[in-house]
């Protein structure tokens, strides 16, 4: 019986996979797999559906498989174990039951029948991608190159499945469940095994383009962008960089030429992707490559190379075929993509509109795309978009200049946080001078634990949660989950800068938690980081010398209409 599409929450995805022989076990397919099934159903029989493809093969291990694994190895106790290193060790030492291994062997045979593609092994938990909570990035995705003899490929796949299973118990997932009042033992995880979308380019396998689409823009760079305009966050190569806090290009779908990081060449360079991810079929591994090294190869492989790449030298941007004097940095800035591939933007807007109208809720879509010899747009995931409940306009009170600790004028949404007792600040100089990023992250995590329930303000250099600790403190969700406002401060002389990365898992967390956000760009008008106050005011030093705890009466005022936000110290 065909299900109704007008209630996403009530939609059941299991029948879709079972009818195709693609569901293992009698349990739930989980939230992420439900989104895939819903996308298939919503596009089936429509003209738009003829323009959209899906991964060549998707198979789901239901939550029953996860429960059977825990039972067979007596691992249910891990729900109550917060020793993450110990949990990982227990699962790495606990084999899959023979029945599951046999199923995985049969699954590999099915993928062999379509060319032995690399595999994406994704989480699909009961709580994940629900209408109320996204759990974005909390559970693991693992890539298997799927190369070599079958016993080796089977061992890779088994390892990926166990990695996804283990992620149910990781600290960030635990913290997210606790923050939102969910019981750990109510969670279980299904696993999606999917052919990776992309093409072979010699020994390298990757999609030409990959990214995320959002039907609503809850955090806008300026009033010209409306919430319903939609947004694309795009990268070259595998889509890992479109969801992590890495540089990727943001396109507002009604204003694709708008550059949220700024129009100056230095601003474009700072915000542009310079590395891309791929599968190396020869070495059988997931890898990253620098555009500066791959540029000649990519220019031969991709006819749209000129629409993707610019050269940056002497504070000037050149076309990819330009000849700047002296050395130049190639950048994936996508300067002409919206002009040469207008059909991609038209299709993205049409798809978002269709899915939002069908489900009645804002949506978030992950995709991969090849532009030649003809466009091949692959929908990889569909999920409800966690909504940020923006307040009505907040008027900023008259405040003496010396009481303003931070001020910014970009990515400001209306928000208010008053009478906050604690401000945690990371000194950029001490962070770089006492170089131990993991220790700094742990020190912030300890402050976060101490300040639970206070909605403290957290301020620091560059990008919170960056994969590259040279760009910002590499904190995990569990280490900052109790803060009420995040401030990112640019320190140009130390190469720290905020990254206006709406669409990453990091920003989706803030949306679902209602966390305020203020980026501060040093040396720019209407931006301020009050070092005099930060050095004069008394503070307690954390477990890393860069981490400071100030006690007082602090407030945050964000006026989205005037695009101004401040953090102030009251009397």
Q: What is the pLDDT of residue 206?
A: 97
* 186 and 306 part of one domain: no
Do 243 and 316 have their domain in common?
yes
Whole-angstrom Cα distance, residue 44 to residue 314?
Answer: 52
Same domain, 211 and 131: no
Residue 518, strand partner residues: 487
Whether residue 136 is found in the same domain as residue 215:
no
Tell whether 227 and 167 lie within a shared domain.
no
CA of 241: how far to CAs of 42, 256, 306, 410, 466, in Å?
28, 20, 21, 22, 11
> What angle do helix axes 150-166 and 84-92 make, rounded to 10 degrees?
150
Say if residue 172 is in the same domain as residue 225: no
The pairing of strands 376-384 and 285-290 is unpaired
- The three-state secondary structure class of 76 is helix
Residues 556 and 495 in one domain: yes
**Residue at which a domain ends, from 340, 358, 387:** 340
Cα separation of 123 and 405, whole Å? 41
Give the lowest-confidence range in 134-143, 204-213, 288-297.
Answer: 134-143
C-alpha span between 477 and 461 (Å, rounded): 17
Phi, psi of 172 (to 5 degrees): -70, -40
Q: How confident is the model at residue 484 (pLDDT cuts 50, 70, 90)?
A: very high
Q: What is the mean pLDDT of residues 352-373?
A: 93
What is the DSSP secondary-structure string of 4-73?
PSS-GGG---HHHHHHTT-EESSS--HHHHHHHHHHHHHHTTSTGGGGEE--S-EEEE-HHHHHHHHHHT
Tokens of 466: 């960056």
161 and 209 share one domain: no
Q: Is 112 found in the same domain as 26?
A: yes
Which helix (H) or strand (E) segment holds residue 537: the answer is none
Average pLDDT over residues 44-73: 97
440 confidence band (pLDDT: 50, 70, 90): very high
Q: Assign residue 408 a region: left if phi > 0, alpha if psi is -120 to 50, beta otherwise? A: beta
Q: Is residue 370 included in any domain, yes or no?
A: no
Question: Would you place residue 505 in the very low, low, confident or very high pLDDT band (cuts 50, 70, 90)?
Answer: low
Which secondary-structure segment (H or E) carries 382? Answer: strand 376-384
Assess if residue 530 is contained within a domain. Answer: yes
Kindly tell me if the per-residue pLDDT of 198 is higher than 90. Answer: yes
| Inter-residue contact 156 to 144 (CB < 8 Å) | yes
Query: CA-CA distance, 35 to 484, in Å (whole number)?
Result: 30
Residue that is last in its domain, among 291, 322, 340: 340
- 363-389: average pLDDT: 88
3 state DSSP class of 207: coil
Supply 318's token pair.
């050149």
In a domain, residue 379? The reply is: no
- Range from 79-93, 388-402, 540-554 carrying the lowest mean pLDDT: 388-402
Q: Check residue 242 and give its pLDDT.
A: 72
Q: Which helix (H) or strand (E) holds 250?
A: strand 249-252
Residue 387 pLDDT: 62
The candidate with the shortest Cα–Cα distance to 286, out of 294, 276, 278, is 278
- Alpha-carbon distance of 529 to 567, in angstroms, equals 10
Asked which of 131-135, 214-218, 282-286, 294-298 is least confident by mean pLDDT, the reply is 131-135
The dihedral over CA atoms of 28, 33, 35, 41, expressed in degrees to the nearest 10, equals: -90
258 within some domain = yes
Residue 1 has a pLDDT of 47
| pLDDT confidence of residue 406 | 97
In-domain check, residue 329: yes
HEC secondary structure over 285-352: EEEEEEHHHHHHHHHHHCCCHHHHEEEEECCEEEECCCCCCCCCEEEECCCCHHHHCHHHHHHHHHHH
pLDDT the model gives residue 536: 95
Lowest mean pLDDT among 56-70, 120-134, 154-168, 424-438: 120-134
Do the domain assignments include residue 360? no
Looking at the structure, tell me whether residues 214 and 279 fall in a common domain: yes
Question: Looking at residue 86, which CATH number applies to its domain?
Answer: 3.30.1490.20
Whole-angstrom distance, CA of residue 199 vs CA of residue 301: 11
The answer to whether residue 118 is domain-embedded is yes
- Do residues 501 and 565 both lie within one domain? yes
Asked if omega into 424 is within 30° of 0 (cis), the reply is no
Q: Name the pLDDT band for 365 (thresholds 50, 70, 90).
A: very high
Number of structural domains found in the chain: 3
Residue 454, pLDDT above cutoff 70: yes
Residues 215 and 169 in one domain: no
Task: Answer yes or no: is pLDDT of 389 > 70.
Answer: no
Is the residue at 274 inside a domain?
Answer: yes
Mean pLDDT value of segment 30-48: 95
**Would you say residue 296 has pLDDT above 90?**
yes
Residue where a domain terminates, one of 340, 364, 382: 340
DSSP assignment of 179-199 equals HTT--GGG--EEEEEEEPP-E
Do the Cβ atoms of 147 and 197 come closer than 8 Å? Answer: no
The torsion of the CA quartet 7, 10, 15, 17, rounded to 10 degrees, works out to 80
> pLDDT for 401-439, tens place per residue?
999 999 998 878 888 999 999 999 999 999 999 999 999
The pLDDT value recorded for residue 486 is: 92
Q: Which domain holds residue 485?
A: 401-569
Query: Shortest CA distance to 563 belongs to which of 413, 416, 415?
Result: 413
CA angle, residues 401, 403, 405, in degrees to nearest 5: 95
- Closest-CA residue to 543 (of 428, 420, 438, 433): 438
503 pLDDT above the threshold of 70: no
Instruction: Tell how strand 415-426 and strand 547-559 pair up.
Output: antiparallel
Reported as a single tens digit per residue, the pLDDT across 509-563 is 777 778 899 999 877 888 999 999 999 999 999 999 999 999 999 999 998 888 8
Q: What's the pLDDT at 504? A: 62
Tokens of 310: 């610019």
Sign of CA dihedral 315, 319, 324, 328: positive
């Amino acid at each position: 019986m065909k299900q109704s599409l007008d209630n996403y929450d009530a939609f059941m995805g299991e029948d879709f996979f079972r009818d195709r022989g693609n569901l293992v076990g009698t349990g739930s397919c989980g939230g992420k797999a439900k989104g895939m099934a819903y996308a298939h159903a919503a596009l089936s029989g429509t003209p738009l559906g003829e323009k959209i493809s899906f991964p060549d093969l998707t198979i789901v291990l239901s939550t029953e498989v996860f429960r059977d694994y825990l039972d067979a190895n007596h691992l249910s106790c891990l729900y109550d174990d917060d020793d993450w290193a110990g949990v990982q060790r227990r699962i790495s030492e606990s084999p899959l039951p023979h029945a599951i291994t046999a199923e995985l062997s049969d699954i590999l045979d099915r993928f062999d029948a379509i060319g032995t593609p690399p595999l994406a092994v994704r989480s699909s938990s009961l709580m994940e991608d629900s209408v109320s909570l996204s759990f974005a990035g909390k559970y693991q995705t693992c890539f298997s190159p799927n190369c070599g003899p079958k016993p080796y490929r089977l061992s890779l796949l088994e390892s990926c499945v166990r990695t996804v299973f283990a992620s149910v118990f990781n600290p960030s997932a635990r913290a997210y469940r606790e923050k939102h009042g969910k019981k750990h033992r109510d969670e279980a995880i299904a696993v999606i095994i999917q052919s990776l979308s992309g093409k072979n380019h010699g020994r390298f396998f990757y999609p030409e383009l990959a990214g995320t689409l959002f039907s609503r823009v809850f955090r806008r760079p300026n009033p010209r962008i409306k919430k319903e305009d939609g947004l694309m966050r795009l990268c070259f190569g595998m889509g890992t960089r479109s969801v992590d806090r890495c540089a990727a290009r943001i396109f507002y779908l009604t204003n694709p030429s708008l550059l949220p990081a700024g129009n100056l060449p230095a601003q474009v360079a700072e915000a542009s992707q310079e590395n891309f991810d791929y599968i190396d079929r020869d070495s059988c591994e997931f890898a990253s490559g620098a555009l500066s090294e791959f540029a000649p190869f990519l220019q031969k492989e991709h006819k749209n190379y000129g629409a993707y790449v610019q050269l940056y030298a002497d504070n000037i941007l050149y076309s990819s075929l330009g000849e700047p004097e002296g050395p130049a940095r190639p950048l994936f800035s996508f300067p002409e993509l919206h002009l040469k591939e207008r059909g991609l933007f038209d299709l993205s807007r049409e798809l978002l509109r269709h899915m939002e109208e069908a489900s009645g809720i804002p949506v978030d879509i992950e995709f991969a795309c090849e532009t030649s010899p003809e466009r091949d747009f692959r929908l990889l995931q569909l999920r409800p978009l966690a909504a940020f409940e923006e307040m009505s306009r907040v008027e900023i009170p008259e405040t003496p200049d010396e009481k303003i600790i931070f001020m910014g004028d970009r990515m400001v949404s209306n928000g208010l946080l008053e009478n906050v007792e604690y401000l945690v600040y990371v000194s950029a100089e001490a962070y770089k001078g006492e170089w131990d990023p993991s220790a700094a992250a742990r020190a912030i995590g300890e402050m976060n634990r101490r300040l639970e329930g206070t909605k403290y303000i957290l301020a620091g250099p560059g990008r919170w949660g960056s994969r590259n600790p040279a760009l910002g403190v590499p904190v995990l969700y569990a280490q900052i989950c109790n803060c009420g406002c995040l401030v990112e401060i640019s320190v140009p002389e130390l190469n720290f800068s905020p990254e206006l990365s709406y669409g990453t898992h990091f920003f989706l967390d803030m949306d679902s938690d209602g966390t305020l956000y203020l980026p501060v760009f040093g040396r720019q008008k209407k931006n301020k980081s009050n070092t005099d106050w930060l050095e004069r005011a008394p503070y307690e030093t954390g477990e890393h010398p860069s981490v400071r705890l100030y006690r007082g009466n602090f407030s945050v005022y964000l006026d989205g209409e005037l695009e101004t936000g401040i953090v102030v110290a009251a009397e």
